[in-house]
Amino acid sequence: MSSQRYITMGEQKGRRSWAEPWKIKMVEPISMISRSEREKAIQEAGYNTFLLRSKDVYIDLLTDSGTSAMSDRQWAGMMLGDEAYAGSVNFYNLEKAIQEIYGYEYIVPTHQGRGAEHLISHAEIRKGQYVPGNMYFTTTRLHQELAGGIFVDVIIDEAHDPYHIDPFKGNIDLRKVENLVKEKGAENIAYISLAGTVNMAGGQPVSMANVKALRKLCDQHGLKLYLDATRMVENSLFIQLSESGYKKKKVAEILKEFCDYTDGAWMSGKKDHLVNIGGWVAVRDKNLADRLRNAVVVYEGLHTYGGMAGRDMEAMAIGIRESVEDDHIKSRVGQVLYLGELLVNWGIPIVRPVGGHAIFLDARAFYPHIPQDQFPAQVLASELYMDSGIRSMERGVVSAGRDPQTGDHRYPKLELTRLAIPRRVYTEAHMDVIAESVKMVYEDRKNIKGFKMVYEPEYLRFFQARFERL
């Protein structure tokens, strides 16, 4: 199979490999506005898909963050919200779910992932320390930098090549970490920042062998290893699919084993956990937990809600348990692979192997005539919206931002437009429509012009920057 990943639900060959393990109880109507209305909408949005109104969007692939459909159990859980300021029943349910499924002892809830990133960066980075990680993520690196850290990319080189086929393209290159330790000294490394499925590399997973080896290396040098667990359930499925010795293990067992090698984790619950809001940071060290608990009351809310309502914590506690069911995660990732397969078969340039949460279009290959400082991936996101009302997101030079030292654009090797698939929201027919639109935009790629940036905010510019056509 050309996407290099294949999901089977049962043993019988030649049978359809997966279907959603649910049926639909409630629907939300969507509709497509006309081409001329779409052209006007994207122009008014400064050609930034974050600035579109969602009523003007047909199929929304901006992000898989907070966009999941909750189950009937989760909605029922919302009615059990204990909205006490302190000591909510729902916090203890959430704490128990995280302790059981992820295995960490001390849990601090936050309003979403970046709240957790803020707390851990603030607690564990001293000014001037290095933070090696498997490729940057926008909010993660920003919080590390705001805490005085210097992010160093230690992912394997192959992760920067959109067409290199490796089942674990999210792996850390251990030699890069060794060299950094030799060069800077272990005391100048805050911790290793390991993301399960690497978002900016195309949703690429990390192998169990890699985290095991990393743990050993950390122990040799007295380093801490923290995990961005945001899409670690998807990562665990990829281990089950591709790593020897894991075929017969449940995703939940694999997830727990992976976390066992780490000292703690932060989480955007808006992804794997199947909820619309929430996050947490969790650690094994009591002293660090006390510092995080103290910081959370300053920045998020009391340590038993951290910015979430009681009902949100209940929905998350239920979502955590649903998220590690093998049939759920197989159908979630299976849908992404299905779309990837269609596109690969039509010769559309996408990052391969297909990752867990999204399809990443290679904007350089769409528009080789548009230089990177004219934002080809931003252009592609606009073209796709104009073609069909599908909303995607730039993941290239705009997302990479500016180097804090030089002030210049950072030029990532990957210049991508991401089609993120929300969990349990769209059907296979939607996937077909998406693929057809991408094909149409690819066929019309010749005379498309680049953009200039006309407004640029200081932080995380991709959210609010504005562009004009050249």
Enumerate the active-site residues. 85, 137-138, 228, 271, 395, 462
Q: What φ, ψ does residue 163 adopt, rounded to 5°?
A: -110, 0
DSSP-derived 3-state class of residue 192: strand
Query: Helical H runs in 188-231?
Result: 208-221
User: Could you tell me how far CA 296 lies from the centroid of its own chain?
Assistant: 23
Nearer to ligand PM9, 160 or 221 (CB): 160
What residue ranges in 219-295 does DSSP mark as E strands? Answer: 225-228, 264-268, 279-283
Q: Using an 8 Å Cβ cutoff, are 442 and 420 in contact? A: no
Site for ligand PM9 in 43-82 (CB under 6 A): 63, 65
CB 131 within 8 A of CB 125: yes
Task: Tell which positions 262-301 bind ligand PM9, by CB under 6 A.
Answer: 268, 270, 279
* Residue 313 interacts with ligand PM9 (CB under 6 A): yes or no: no
**Nearest residue relative to ligand PM9 (C-beta):** 113
Around Cβ 319, how many Cβ atoms within 10 Å?
25
Instruction: With contacts defined by CB under 6 A, name the span among 26-34, 110-118, 283-291, 330-338 that binds ligand PM9.
Output: 110-118
138 binds ligand PM9 (CB under 6 A): yes
Instruction: Give yes or no for residue 378 binding ligand PM9 (CB under 6 A).
Output: no
In angstroms, the CA 161 to CA 199 distance is 14
Q: Does 113 bind ligand PM9 (CB under 6 A)?
A: yes
- Report the DSSP pairing between strands 390-391 and 150-153: unpaired
Q: Does residue 328 touch ligand PM9 according to CB under 6 A?
A: no
Q: How many residues interact with ligand PM9 (rule CB under 6 A)?
A: 17
Query: What is the C-alpha to C-alpha distance for residues 435 and 422, in angstroms, rounded to an integer?
Result: 16
Residue 114 touching ligand PM9 (CB under 6 A): yes
Contact between 210 and ligand PM9 per CB under 6 A: no
Separation of alpha carbons 383 and 366, rounded Å: 11
In the complex, the smallest distance separating the C-beta of residue 88 from ligand PM9, rounded to whole angstroms, is 21
Q: Are strands 466-469 and 451-455 parallel, antiparallel or unpaired?
A: antiparallel
| CA atoms of 396 and 415, how far apart (whole Å) | 4
Nearer residue to ligand PM9 within complex by CB, 199 or 382: 199
Interface segment toward ligand PM9; rule CB under 6 A; list 107-115, 163-171, 203-211, 337-345: 107-115
H or E element at residue 457: none
Of 218 and 229, which has the nearer Cβ to ligand PM9?
229
CA distance linking residue 356 with residue 203, whole number of Å: 5
Q: How far apart are CA 259 and CA 107, in angstroms?
A: 14
Residue type, 469: R
Q: Whole-number minimum distance, CB 391 to ligand PM9, in Å?
A: 12
Binding part of the chain for ligand PM9, among 33-41, 98-106, 136-144, 147-155 by CB under 6 A, reads: 136-144
CB atoms within 10 A of CB 261: 18
Stretch that binds ligand PM9, among 101-109, 137-145, 288-296, 362-370 (CB under 6 A): 137-145
391 is a site residue for ligand PM9 (CB under 6 A): no
Q: Whose Cβ is closer to ligand PM9: residue 48's or residue 90's? A: 48
- Among positions 217-246, residues that touch ligand PM9 (CB under 6 A) are 228, 230
Per CB under 6 A, does 121 bind ligand PM9?
no
Contact status: 134 vs ligand PM9 (CB under 6 A): no
Q: How far is the CB of 64 from ligand PM9 (least distance, A)?
A: 6
Binding site for ligand PM9 (CB under 6 A): 63, 65, 112-114, 137-140, 195, 199, 228, 230, 268, 270, 279, 420
